């Protein structure tokens, strides 16, 4: 029934007089219903993980965003979930909100939230001032169609157009619809906005009270969000969706109680490198940890001449201490590489009987080079001065040809 009445209202949106008369008829026909929020937690719903990632860090309330259908009625779907745990009341809430905005349009034209907003701007003529009511509506309440009407026909025509657009099903809603929905539900609506540095935050993140006062102390919490999240937070946040905020379940509260939030950074300890064990030393003896493999000291570390043991945290090249596990792994791999190179040099000396030049000098004497030394052999460097002297001596011994 509500969907049929919405279609009737949408067909009259070109003429506000017909639209208003139909709203008065529907208001008399409709029964007065008092809505109440169910105090249920999020255990019966799916948590919106995208919205959960962009919740402001300053929001410390025990509430989580719940997934709602993004079909254009997301604002009324969110309110329906908070009232009856499903989205069956979305069309009824949209219909009643459209009627409320049309009949009591004078109240919403000068809503207390907009009148209390003192947003400064810089003008070339007047200097620093506050945004007027028309500009606040244009920035926070009007959709693209109403903005076009505002530029062509003025504020009054744009305001009436925005009121009538509320009756079009599956169309995006904004701040004006939140104001009317608070009066329809009869409870205050508290909104949450992800971008805490927005210049219009005093309007986007506020508490909207019903027109006739609150029927109860309950609060309906709704969050502005985006179905794609906020990937680049250096840019302005763009809203295209609404989700309700429901109370955390006892399991979620217990899980949060197990964690301790620390606002300051952890202090860095005086970490030192134990060269004998290859460990980071934090004021304790590294020998007490038997599970770590030991490493022999290497030449790259300074050693004590009396004890022949490496002095802790003294580097010949690096001159620093290792502060992280990755750095420790790099130093360990470096030590292993140098040790492998030393083992290779020792093996070569043993194969050549202590003469590292045997592999290439033997080849020039006519001796056969062993197979294991061929890959290490290198061509000897020649002395050009000696070669030139030999050629000169040979040329002097040859008889010179007489020139006839």
Are 307 and 219 in the same domain?
no
Query: Among 251, 280, 305, where does a domain finish?
Result: 251
Are 32 and 163 in the same domain?
yes
For 82-105, write each residue's pLDDT tens digit.
Answer: 999 999 999 999 999 999 999 999
Are 77 and 137 in the same domain?
yes
Boundaries of domain holding 145: 2-251
- Residue 43: which pLDDT band, with cuts at 50, 70 and 90? confident
Are 55 and 193 in the same domain?
yes
In a domain, 152, yes or no: yes
In a domain, 391, yes or no: no
Whether the Cβ atoms of residue 191 and residue 210 lie closer than 8 Å to each other = no
Are 87 and 163 in the same domain?
yes
Are 202 and 305 in the same domain?
no
Are 206 and 69 in the same domain?
yes
Domain count along the chain: 2
Are 354 and 228 in the same domain?
no
In a domain, 396, yes or no: no
Are 244 and 303 in the same domain?
no
In a domain, 402, yes or no: no
pLDDT for the residue numbered 317:
44
For 103-122, write each residue's pLDDT tens digit.
Answer: 999 999 999 999 999 898 88
For 146-180, write each residue's pLDDT tens digit.
Answer: 999 999 999 999 999 999 999 999 998 999 999 99
CATH number at residue 43: 3.90.70.80
For 326-378, write each residue's pLDDT tens digit.
Answer: 677 777 788 888 888 888 888 777 776 655 554 444 444 444 555 555 544 44
Query: Among 251, 275, 306, where does a domain finish?
Result: 251
Are 212 and 332 in the same domain?
no
Are 247 and 342 in the same domain?
no
pLDDT over 80 at 185, yes or no: yes
Are 195 and 70 in the same domain?
yes
In a domain, 262, yes or no: no
pLDDT for the residue numbered 82:
93
In a domain, 299, yes or no: yes
In a domain, 397, yes or no: no
- The highest-confidence range among 52-56, 212-216, 357-361, 388-392, by mean pLDDT, is 52-56
């Amino acid at each position: 029934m509500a969907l049929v009445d919405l279609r009737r209202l949408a067909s009259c949106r070109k003429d506000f007089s017909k639209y208003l008369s139909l709203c008065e008829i529907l208001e008399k026909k409709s029964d007065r219903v008092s809505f109440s929020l169910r105090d249920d937690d999020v255990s019966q719903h799916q948590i919106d993980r995208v919205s959960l990632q962009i919740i402001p860090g300053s929001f410390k309330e025990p509430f989580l965003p719940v997934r709602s259908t993004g079909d254009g009625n997301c604002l009324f779907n969110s309110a329906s979930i908070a009232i009856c745990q499903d989205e069956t009341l979305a069309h009824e809430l949209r219909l009643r909100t459209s009627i409320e905005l049309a009949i009591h349009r004078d109240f919403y034209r000068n809503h207390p939230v907009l009148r209390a907003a003192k947003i400064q701007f810089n003008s070339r003529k007047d200097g620093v001032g506050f945004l007027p009511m028309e500009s606040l509506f244009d920035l926070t309440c009007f959709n693209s169609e109403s903005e076009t009407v505002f530029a062509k026909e003025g504020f009054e025509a744009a305001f009436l157009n925005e009121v009538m657009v509320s009756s079009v099903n599956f169309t995006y809603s904004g701040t004006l619809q939140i104001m009317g929905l608070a009066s329809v539900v009869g409870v205050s609506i508290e909104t949450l906005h992800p971008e805490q540095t927005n210049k219009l935050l005093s309007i986007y993140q506020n508490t909207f009270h019903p027109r006739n006062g609150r029927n109860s102390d309950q609060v309906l919490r709704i969050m502005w969000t985006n179905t794609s999240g906020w990937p680049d937070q250096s840019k302005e946040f763009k809203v295209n969706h609404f989700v309700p905020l429901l109370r955390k379940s006892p399991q979620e509260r217990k899980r949060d109680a197990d964690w301790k939030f620390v606002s300051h950074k952890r202090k860095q300890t005086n970490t030192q490198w134990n060269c004998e064990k290859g460990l980071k030393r934090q004021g304790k003896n590294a020998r007490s940890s038997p599970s770590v493999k030991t490493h022999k000291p290497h030449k790259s570390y300074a050693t004590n001449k009396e004890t022949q043991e490496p002095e802790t945290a003294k580097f010949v090249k690096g001159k620093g201490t290792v502060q992280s596990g990755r750095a420790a792994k790099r130093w360990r791999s470096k030590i292993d590489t140098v040790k492998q190179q030393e083992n290779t040099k020792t093996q070569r000396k043993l194969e050549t009987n202590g003469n590292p030049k045997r592999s290439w000098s033997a080849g020039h004497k006519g001796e056969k080079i062993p197979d294991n030394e061929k890959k290490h052999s290198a061509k000897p460097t020649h002395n050009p001065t000696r070669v030139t002297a030999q050629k000169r001596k040979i040329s002097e011994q040859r008889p010179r040809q007489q020139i006839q």
